[in-house]
């Protein structure tokens, strides 16, 4: 909210007694005021003081606006604490036609007292954006009582230079009461005009803010800004908060996905959607925030959708008169927010981009289009750009460079020296995730130990991660259709169990497994190294949940029953498509079709099915008596080859390839079209032991040899079916049924 500590009183000494004006503190010792106020001084020297202070401080004008830009910046040498910002000032701009509530605090003549003291006047009202629109200035319609003119002189004088605030965003500088109107209207120069003036941004950047961004007033309460400046660390507070993507403490390291997203944002499409997926810690959130920061510097309105955003205020985003980029983090837990926002933006005629961030594309993604009643929104989701993030730093040299960069950044923000910190061994696969490189750098600061993350930082990270992961699981389950409720106790243990990975490397104690969780806590796992000897909370929780051992059974030999399989359990029906995965990789088959894991979506998804459907229609139309030739191919491709996840160039390439294949098929096979018996027929094969294989034969042709009719099927294969029943230990039992058949030729 508006902070009165930013209000400054300005005194410009002159030949005829000088002039009182108002100002706003925009940096340490840096005051923004009106140019016509400081011009009275006849030179570059004025006096300023903060609200409530008795002593004046000398200041010097370091920047003046030109014609049509009535503003000036003054700098105080060695400012007192009252002339220093308690927190960075946020700057804003208007980007839509809606009225906006504002307030200002200044020192008008109407508040002059007989003792010469000038008191304050609080101004409240609203900006009317479409009034005086051609001038490029802001018109403020004032609420409540206003000062009356005395002897034809407006008593608003002295209010000039006051900062105009919308909530906690500084949006302009009050400069004048316009002629031909009453005292209930004032004019202000917007910050957009100041930033467009030569030298202003450079002068303001000396205040120490490295990211000068004008935030959209309409986005308040809806979008969080891409980066927040990290506040000074409190006493006894862990430094782990510096790892957060929202602070951007460590400079962003370039990666090709950023260039791809920038190109995607700059396309001619009015509205478009992209989805970033990848495991925790690979840099999804940081990548999206950097995209926001880059585009904000080019005039875009950007931000991350707040978790508790105002839905009524969100409607203003549809009327923003600028290009808009919205990022939704943890989109898999916020399906309703995604659908609601996309419904607002789907029919915009200005550039609108929506970036969804998720750990994986699973049920939530396939269910998402069905949640929307808007056909345009469903189509946008079906054509979304999908980017899967992987390893950012693939070489040890690149990780070492990232480590040094992070160490320097953390040392600068904490005020600690890190010149002595040795370089840790970054060859471990753990450091493929950049987050762990940053963790190692933060832990290498003095007091954190020589080679690892300090106990205080590590413990804080693990506790925060346990809590965050539980919330993630809860929200993900509730976002499903239908929703799924998970007990808090079960959630905590499930989070711990989910972090279990492969057994430790050779040399680790027998029977232990590596805790390599989905987030920043993955750095803590038990090995023989002294620095990692203490079990983490994840390890304790996992041990309480169930026993995970791969050592021989310590229980003495005893009589055991002969195991017998139950046909009721092994009643498995498989399709030929599923069997294809069993041929290629039995483990992948188990994960996909028995455990229900969803693989990443390929960009060319839909190409094979499109060809199949086009051929089916071609054969079916032949059976109906139609003539089929190459002129039918464009129509078939247009109707059946649907590639929702392919980018434009790939979509064009695959469509052209489909046309070539269909044209070649017609040229080579049209003579046999009269022999077509069936365009498609179902098939089911019972292999015994409760296993059935179902599928379809795409084409059956009729052939006659010496008076005998034979059918020729367009398929041939030898199948291996592997079934994994329910298991009760780490050992995996497998039932393998082999079946081979040679199709008639």
Tens-digit pLDDT profile for residues 530-550: 444 555 555 454 444 443 444
- Residue 566: pLDDT band (50, 70, 90) is low
- Residue 669: pLDDT band (50, 70, 90) is confident
- Residue 450: pLDDT band (50, 70, 90) is very low
**6, 25 in Cβ contact below 8 A?**
yes
Asked whether the predicted pLDDT for residue 226 surpasses 70, the reply is: yes
Domains 4-216 and 223-233+240-388 share a fold: no
Look-up of token digits 């092994």: 570
Q: For residue 285, what pLDDT is reported?
A: 93
CATH topology of domain 4-216: Thrombin, subunit H (2.40.10)
Q: For residue 462, what pLDDT is reported?
A: 55
The SS3 assignment for 319 reads: helix
Token representation of residue 676: 């077509």
Q: What is the DSSP letter of 520?
A: G
Asked whether the predicted pLDDT for residue 666 surpasses 80, the reply is: yes
Asked whether the predicted pLDDT for residue 702 surpasses 80, the reply is: no
Asked whether the predicted pLDDT for residue 301 surpasses 60, the reply is: yes
Looking at per-residue confidence, does 371 or 463 come out higher?
A: 371
Q: For residue 34, what pLDDT is reported?
A: 94
- State the pairing for strand pair 223-224/169-176: unpaired
Asked whether the predicted pLDDT for residue 1 surpasses 70, the reply is: no
Closest CA to 193 of 178, 171, 218, 167: 171
Buried b (16+ CB within 10 A) or exposed e, 14-25: eeeeebbbbbbb
What's the average model confidence in pLDDT over 314-332? Answer: 91
**379, 346 in Cβ contact below 8 A?**
no
Asked whether the predicted pLDDT for residue 719 surpasses 80, the reply is: no
Q: For residue 413, what pLDDT is reported?
A: 80
What's the average model confidence in pLDDT over 619-638? Answer: 89
Q: For residue 238, what pLDDT is reported?
A: 61
Q: For residue 492, what pLDDT is reported?
A: 61
d(CA 126, CA 255): 44
What's the average model confidence in pLDDT over 505-516? Answer: 36
Token representation of residue 140: 């403020």
What is the residue-wise DSSP string for 125-166?
EEE-TTTTGGGTPEEEEEPS--PPPBTTB-TTTT-TTPEEEE
Asked whether the predicted pLDDT for residue 324 surpasses 70, the reply is: yes
* CATH 3.40.50 is held by the domain 223-233+240-388: yes
- Residue 464: pLDDT band (50, 70, 90) is low
Look-up of token digits 């992070």: 406
**250, 409 in Cβ contact below 8 A?**
yes
Task: Give the model confidence (pLDDT) of 398-445 as tens digits.
Answer: 999 999 898 888 888 877 776 666 778 888 877 888 888 888 888 777
Task: Give the model confidence (pLDDT) of 607-628 as tens digits.
Answer: 888 888 898 898 888 888 888 8
- Residue 185: pLDDT band (50, 70, 90) is confident
Task: Give the model confidence (pLDDT) of 114-136 as tens digits.
Answer: 877 889 999 999 999 999 888 89
Q: State what percent of residues in the chain have pLDDT above 70.
A: 74
Looking at per-residue confidence, does 397 or 674 come out higher?
A: 397
d(CA 215, CA 209): 14
136-145, 478-487, 575-584, 663-672: least confident range: 478-487
Looking at per-residue confidence, does 507 or 99 come out higher?
A: 99
232-241, 503-512, 679-688: least confident range: 503-512
Cis before 229? omega within 30: no
d(CA 388, CA 623): 44
**247, 240 in Cβ contact below 8 A?**
no
Q: What is the DSSP letter of 50?
A: E
Q: Where are the alpha helices (DSSP H) in 132-253?
A: 191-196, 200-205
d(CA 328, CA 557): 57
pTM (two decimals): 0.62
Asked whether the predicted pLDDT for residue 494 surpasses 80, the reply is: no
Buried b (16+ CB within 10 A) or exposed e, 633-643: beebbeebbbb
8-12, 35-39, 468-472: least confident range: 468-472
82-96, 189-203, 250-264, 557-571: least confident range: 557-571
What's the average model confidence in pLDDT over 269-298? Answer: 92
Q: For residue 64, what pLDDT is reported?
A: 92
Looking at per-residue confidence, does 209 or 584 come out higher?
A: 584
Asked whether the predicted pLDDT for residue 690 surpasses 80, the reply is: no
**57, 74 in Cβ contact below 8 A?**
no
What's the average model confidence in pLDDT over 338-343? Answer: 92
The contacts found for 674-681 with CB under 8 angstroms, 24 or more apart, are: 675/701, 675/702, 675/703, 676/619, 676/622, 676/623, 676/700, 676/701, 676/702, 677/701, 677/702, 677/711, 679/616, 679/619, 679/620, 679/622, 679/623, 680/616, 680/619
Q: Would you kindly state where each structural domain of the chain is located, as residue ranges?
A: 4-216, 223-233+240-388, 393-453, 456-548, 572-598+679-740
d(CA 650, CA 657): 10
Q: Positive or negative CA dihedral for 429, 435, 441, 442?
A: negative
d(CA 526, CA 534): 7
Mean pLDDT over the full length of the chain: 77
């Amino acid at each position: 909210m508006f902070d009165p500590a930013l209000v400054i009183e300005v005194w410009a000494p002159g030949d005829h007694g000088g002039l009182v004006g108002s100002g706003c503190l925009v940096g340490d010792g840096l005051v923004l005021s009106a140019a016509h106020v400081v011009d009275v001084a006849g030179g570059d020297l004025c006096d300023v003081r903060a609200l409530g202070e008795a002593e004046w401080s000398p200041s010097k004008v370091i920047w003046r606006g030109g014609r049509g830009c009535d503003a000036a910046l003054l700098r105080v040498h060695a400012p007192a604490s009252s002339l220093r910002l308690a927190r960075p000032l946020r700057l804003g701009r208007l980007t839509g036609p809606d009225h906006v509530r504002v307030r200002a605090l200044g020192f008008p003549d109407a508040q002059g007292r007989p003792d010469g003291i000038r008191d304050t006047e609080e101004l409240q009202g609203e900006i009317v954006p479409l009034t005086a629109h051609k001038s490029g200035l802001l018109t403020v319609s004032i609420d409540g009582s206003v000062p009356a003119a005395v002897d034809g002189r407006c008593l608003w004088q002295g209010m000039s230079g006051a900062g105009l605030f919308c909530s906690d965003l500084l949006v302009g500088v009050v400069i004048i009461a316009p002629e031909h109107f009453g005292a209930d209207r004032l004019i202000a120069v917007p910050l957009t005009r100041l930033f467009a003036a030569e030298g202003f941004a450079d002068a303001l950047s000396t205040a120490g803010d490295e990211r000068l961004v004008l935030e959209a007033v309409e986005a308040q309460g809806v979008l969080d800004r891409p980066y927040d400046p990290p506040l000074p660390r409190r006493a006894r507070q862990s430094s782990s908060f510096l790892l957060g993507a929202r602070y951007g403490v460590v400079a962003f390291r370039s990666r090709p996905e950023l260039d791809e997203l920038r190109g995607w944002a700059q396309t001619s499409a009015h509205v478009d959607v992209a989805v970033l997926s990848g495991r925790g810690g690979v840099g999804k959130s940081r990548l999206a925030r950097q995209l926001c920061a880059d585009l904000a510097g080019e005039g875009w309105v950007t931000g991350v959708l707040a978790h508790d955003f105002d839905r009524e205020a969100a409607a203003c985003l549809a009327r923003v008169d600028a290009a808009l980029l919205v990022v939704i983090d943890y989109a898999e837990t916020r399906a309703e927010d995604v659908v609601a926002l996309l419904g607002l933006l789907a029919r915009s005629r200005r550039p609108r981009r929506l970036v969804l961030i998720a750990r994986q594309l699973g049920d939530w993604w396939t269910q998402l289009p069905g949640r929307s009643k808007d056909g345009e929104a469903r189509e946008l989701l079906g054509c979304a750009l999908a980017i899967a993030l992987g390893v950012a730093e693939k070489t040890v040299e690149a990780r070492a460079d990232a480590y040094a960069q992070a160490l320097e950044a953390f040392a600068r923000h904490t005020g600690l020296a890190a010149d002595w910190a040795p370089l840790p061994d970054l060859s471990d696969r753990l450091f493929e995730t950049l987050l762990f490189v940053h963790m190692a750098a933060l832990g290498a600061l003095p007091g954190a130990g020589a080679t690892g993350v300090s106990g205080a930082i590590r413990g804080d990270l693990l506790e925060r991660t346990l809590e965050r992961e539980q919330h993630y699981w809860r929200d993900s389950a509730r976002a499903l259709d239908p929703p799924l409720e998970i007990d808090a106790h079960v959630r905590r243990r499930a989070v711990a169990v989910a972090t279990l990975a492969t057994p430790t490397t050779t040399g680790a104690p027998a029977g232990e497994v590596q805790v390599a969780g989905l987030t920043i806590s993955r750095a803590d796992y038990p090995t023989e190294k002294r620095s990692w000897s203490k079990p983490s909370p994840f390890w304790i929780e996992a041990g309480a949940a169930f026993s995970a051992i791969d050592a021989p059974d310590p229980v003495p030999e005893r009589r055991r029953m002969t195991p017998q399989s139950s046909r009721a359990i092994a009643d498995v029906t498989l399709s030929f498509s599923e069997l294809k995965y069993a041929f290629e990789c039995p483990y992948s088959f188990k994960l996909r079709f028995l455990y229900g894991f969803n693989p990443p979506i390929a960009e060319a998804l839909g190409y094979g099915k499109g060809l199949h459907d086009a051929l089916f229609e071609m054969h079916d139309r032949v059976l109906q008596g139609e003539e089929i030739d190459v002129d039918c191919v464009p129509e078939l491709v247009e109707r059946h080859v649907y590639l929702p996840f392919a980018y434009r160039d790939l979509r064009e390439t695959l469509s052209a390839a489909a046309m070539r294949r269909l044209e070649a098929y017609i040229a080579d096979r049209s003579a046999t079209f009269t022999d077509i018996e069936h365009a498609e027929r179902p098939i089911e094969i019972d292999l015994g032991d409760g296993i059935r294989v179902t599928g379809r034969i795409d084409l059956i042709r009729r052939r006659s040899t010496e008076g005998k009719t034979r059918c020729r099927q367009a398929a041939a294969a030898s199948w291996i079916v592997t079934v994994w029943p329910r298991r009760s230990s780490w050992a995996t039992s497998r039932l393998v049924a082999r079946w081979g058949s040679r199709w008639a030729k």
